[in-house]
Structure formats: C-alpha cells, structure tokens
A and B are shown apart, each in its own frame.
Chain A
Amino acid sequence: MNLETLSLNLLGLLTPFLVILAFITPLLSKLLKSSRRAPFIIALIGGVYAAMASTVVFCYEITSRSPLIYTYGGWPPHFGIVYEIDLFNGLLGFLVAWIMLAIILYSSWYSKRLDDASWYFTLLLGLTAGVLGCLYTGDAFNFFVMLEVLSISTYGLVAYLRNRAEAVEATAKYALIGAVATTMYFLALVIIYSGYGTVNMAYLAGLSSAEFVVKEPSLRYLSLLAVSLALWTFTFKSAIFPSHFWLVDANPEAPHPVSVALSGLVESVGIYAAGRFLYTIFRPNGVLAVYHSVILIVLVTLGAISGVVCALMMLNQRDIKRLLAYSSISHTGIVYMGLFAGFLVNNSAVEAAITGAIVHAVSHVIAKTALFMSSGLFIETSGSRDLDDMRGVGRAHPLALVATVISTLSLIGLVPFIGFYSKLLIILGYISAGFVIVPILVIAITALSVPGYMKILSSVAFGIPAKEYKRPSGETWVEVLILLIALSLLVLGVIFWYIMPIFQDTTSSLISGAGDYINSALERIPEELRSLMRGVS
C-alpha cells in the first residue's frame, strides 16, 4: 500500500471513528462497571489514532505537495462532502492532533478528581472529532456542522464541574453568544449559497475569481456581507478583540485540560478558517476586489487592539488561568497581525509575515499547552488559583517549574526558542515592506506582556512558600509529559533553520496554492458533468 492510499484510508475513517468511540464510551463504562480506566483507554485509542492519521497525512503532504482529497461516499466535490488537505491545514491538523493526545494523557491525571469520567471523555473525543473535522473539511457546510460539534463539546466541558455556580454561569454566557455566532455563520452560508449555488470550498474559490462573477457588482456586495458575517464567527472562535470576553470567563472555570483545548485548539480553528476564507475562497483580485484589502487591514487592526489591550489586562490579574487566557488573546492578536499581511504590495514581505504568523500559531499553542498544564498542577497542589496564595508552589514540582520557565521565555521571544523566530519573521516581513507600525506594535505588545509573565514566575518560582506543600506521589509522569512539551519549543527553536522550508511551503500553499486547491478538487468531477458547470474549465 503506498502512502497516498494509506493516508486516504486513515483520513476517511478519522471523524466517523472518533464519533463512534465517543458514543460507545458511556455504554462501555456502564457495562464494565469495575474498570474505572475504561473511558480513558477508549479516549486514548481515539487520540493515538488521530495523531497517527494526521501524521501520515502531513507526511504525504510534505512529500507530494499536492492537495489530498477524500470523497465521502464516492460523490465528487460539489455533489457530496469532501475532505481536502493541503499543507496549511495538514500542518495545523498535525499540531492539533498531537496536542489533543497530550490533553487526553493529562486528563488521565485530572479525571481522578471527577466522580464519573465517562461523559468527560465522551465530550473530549467529540472535541477531537470537531476540531479535526473543521480543519480537514473541504465543504463550507460540513465546516458548520463540525463547528457545532466542537462548540457543543466545549460547552459541555466548560460546565463539567456542574455544581460550581461560576462554571455554569460562564458556560451559559459562552453558549448563548457562541450559538448566535455559529448561527451567523449559517446565515453567511445561506447568503453564499443564494449567490453561488454551491457550498463546496474549492468550487466556491473557483467561482469567486471567475470572470463572469467578478464583473457582477451585486455578487460583490453579497459576498462582502457573507464574508463579514463569517469573519465575526471566526474572530469569536479565535477570541479576537470585540468578542474575546468568553475566553477569559470560560478559561478559569473550565477543568485544567479543557483550558488547554480552549486556548490552543479552538483558537487554531478560528485562525485557520479566517485564513482559508480570505486567502483561498475569496482571494485578492477576486470578487471582493478592493474590499479584500480593507477586510485584511480591519483584521490586522483588531489583532493589534487585542494584542495591546490584553497585554495590559495581564498586569492586574491575580487569577493565574485568567492571566494566561489574556496572554492567549494577546498572542492570537499577533498571529492575526502577521497572517493578514496580504494587503502589502511586496510579495516576499507578505510571505515572510505569513510564515511568521504560522510559526507563531504553532509556538503559541505548544507553549500555552505546557503553561496551562503546569498551572493545573500548581493549582491542585496549592488549592487556589490566586497567585498570592501560590507562592513557592513550584518548589513542589521542579520539572513543571522548568517547563513553565521555558515556555514563558518562548512566549516572550528569547533567542534559542521558536517564539523568537516567529516574531522575528513577522517584524522582518513588515519592515521589508516599509510598514513600521506593526513591528513597533509587536515589540510593544511583547514588552507590555513581560511584567505579566514575571508575575507568574516571581510568585510560583521565587516566592517564599507560605506553607509546606505536600508533594503528591506517583505523579512524576505528568511533570515529565509537561517538560517534554516545553522542551519541544527549545528543540524546534534550535533546528528552526532546517524546518523553516516546511513553514515557507505552507505559506506558499496558502497564498499562491489556491489554483492547485481548486483544480485538484474539480478534476474529480466526471468530464460529462464538468461541461455543464459554469466556471469549470
């Protein structure tokens, strides 16, 4: 079996397998009453499978460089649901699946604190299916379905400690606004379907730059309305300035593994979708014409505002998880500032900035995973989320403390870590285009957020313990897991010049690979039907 067949088989089975595993978890744990580990083992099977499948798919993408298409039920694109993977979503899916595996392992430690862990792991598997489905799908309506799967799982997970009033209250707020946001995406799809007669991403991309569509002013305003509605949903999911409030409310109240998922995975989905919509489906020079640059500039501005505001908000937080949530928003702001650099005229500048944004998305997710996981350990040992009550707790968990220091340094952007290169590339991109406001802002955001991180370090690492912390036995493996995640930041930073071509190719698949993305999907349509479809050559 060659790599293509293998990756197609693994990919086609991915979401159905995860959903089946999710739904048999409660049933099996009822049948196997004696075994408390059963739900975790089922979730682990799902996590390992997802990590394996996404790795194989990513390897195929690196070697072949052409989009991989899986047609569900054998229906060609536009007639049925397809999964379409190029380097951009292949890379993000690879990252997300491995982080999810780490979260499932970490949950095995955390779930000892839950009365009944079977529903918890059901929801966690649902979240995995939702996130990977969102990233891999090539159909805008299937994206909506997967977005709802993801959202329902996160609502359930945030409220999982259902007897804590704060958690339920935060969920009620998050779920109400989240449901409105996904409904708005549905409305955007209605508008897109009424204008183009299709919801397939590749065919939409082909149509939105076809000549007979570009000439039509009514379609331009219709697409503009749809894109604005859809982008509101995506900025909500990636917690960008006007709609960032849910993350800071939901994150502190959620169980610790779920905080990792909210800050890392859900935000990645929002970033991915916004990039896909603005660089593949509605391209520059396409139907949006001059409004495309306007949208990009608005997104960069929103990213800058959330970067600066949330870096300042970090200063007066006492709750460690709330502080980290604000830091997540501020870093997503930096990702947005880099990713939507498409309005610059200089092509190599755009490429550098977007490469920087993708590297920053990766480094931020890894660093935040390590930080949230170690903060979970600290909170459980000290019994409080308040930084003042956590003084010196790091001494009870030396390995997790090292991980905290490493990931903090990477987030700040010091030299041997990958966080340095991502900010460097964004800054270099903008400077080479002569656009100095963004580099100044990136440096200002970094400088403003340093005191926030120092607050964590000074309390957790250097504070004098107020009381004797009992070091729980048999939990060293959790610390080793966290340390491994944090060390990957250092390793990636050291070998950065060797892996940079992968990120550069990811960028070029995003900004200039739209033609490939369209053609490889439309080639699947039989010859006789293709001649009947407009906009397909």
Chain B
Amino acid sequence: MEGFVYVLFIVVLAVNALLSIYGIVYRRSLVKKLISLTILSDTIFVSIILVGFIFKYPVVPPVYIGVSGEETYLLEHGSDPLPQALVLTGIVIGLAVNALIAFGVIQVYRLTGTTDAKRAIRVLVEEVMEE
C-alpha cells in the first residue's frame, strides 16, 4: 500500500511538471507563463522533500554520520532534514525571480497595453514601422 502511494505521488508530480512546461511553452499570456513557472518550481520543491522520505542512499547522508545509540531512532523514523533546508533556500530565491518576472510582465503591459506575448511583439513591430 505504502509503495503504491509513493508511485502514485511520483506520477502526479511528473504530470504536474509536464503540464507546467506545456503552460510555459504554449500559453501566450505572460501571466499564465509565470503561473506555470511557479507550479513547475513548486513541483520540484515537493519532489525533493519526497526524496528525504523514501530514498535509501548508498552512502550515509551528512546529518546521519556519527550518530549512534538511542538517537538513531529519530533518524530512522523521520525524514532527512537536509532536502528541506535546500527547499527553503530554493523558495527564497524563487520568490526573488518571480517578483522580477512579475515586474517585467507589468512593465510589458504598461508599455504595449497587452500581456499576450505574440500581440506585444506585434505592437512593438508596428511602432518600429511607424518610425
């Protein structure tokens, strides 16, 4: 049962990632592209937390080294905390990137009057032609 849940979870994550890549590539609206980007990064963040739960590494991960006796109980029954630290860093950086891209989208809207990527380019080309 447990194994089935994990497999299902991985499949859901993979489908999510593929859908978000579809969104980034084929959606014309820059806002929807940005939303797809956040979905993609969140999917990957969840998957690294999953890694902390289910995988048994061939080597001992950093926090496990040198721990013996009664303390191993916690380590054997809890998840590896290092991936969670990585995810925290990733979320903070992702926030900065998303804020910057959101600014770019707003600025495109202010200057061209649309958030549609193709239409924005058409507006730009027309402006150049008029000059």
Contact = CB atoms under 8 A, between A and B. Distances in A.
Interface residues of B, number: 44
Given A168-B108, A172-B104, A194 B51 contact: yes
A183 B48 contact: no
User: Which of A144, A145, A197, A212 lies at the interface centre, i.e. has the most chain B CB atoms within 10 A of its CB?
Assistant: A197
Contact of A176 (B34, B41, B127): B34
Contacts of B107: 159, 162, 168
Contacts of B105: 172
A186 interface: yes
For this complex, into which size category does the number of interface residues on chain A fall? 35 or more
Interface stretch (A147-155, A275-283, A298-306, A375-383): A147-155
A529 B97 contact: no
B37 A197 contact: no
A282 to B, nearest CB: 16
A220 to B, nearest CB: 12
A345 interface: no
A290 interface: no
B37 A168 contact: no
Interface in B28-75: 30, 33-34, 37, 40-41, 44, 47-48, 51, 55, 57-62, 65-66
A480 B107 CA distance: 38
B81 interface: no
A105 interface: no
Query: Mostly helix, strand, loop or mixed at chain A's interface?
Result: helix
Interface of B: 21, 24, 30, 33-34, 37, 40-41, 44, 47-48, 51, 55, 57-62, 65-66, 82-83, 86, 89-90, 93, 96-98, 100-101, 104-105, 107-108, 111-112, 117, 120-121, 123-124, 127
13 contacts: A152-B93, A152-B100, A159-B104, A162-B107, A169-B108, A172-B30, A176-B34, A179-B98, A180-B40, A197-B59, A529-B65, A532-B66, A534-B58
Interface of A: 78-79, 141, 144-145, 148, 151-152, 155-156, 159, 162-163, 165-166, 168-169, 171-173, 175-177, 179-180, 182-183, 186-187, 189-190, 193-199, 207, 212-213, 216, 219, 528-529, 532-535
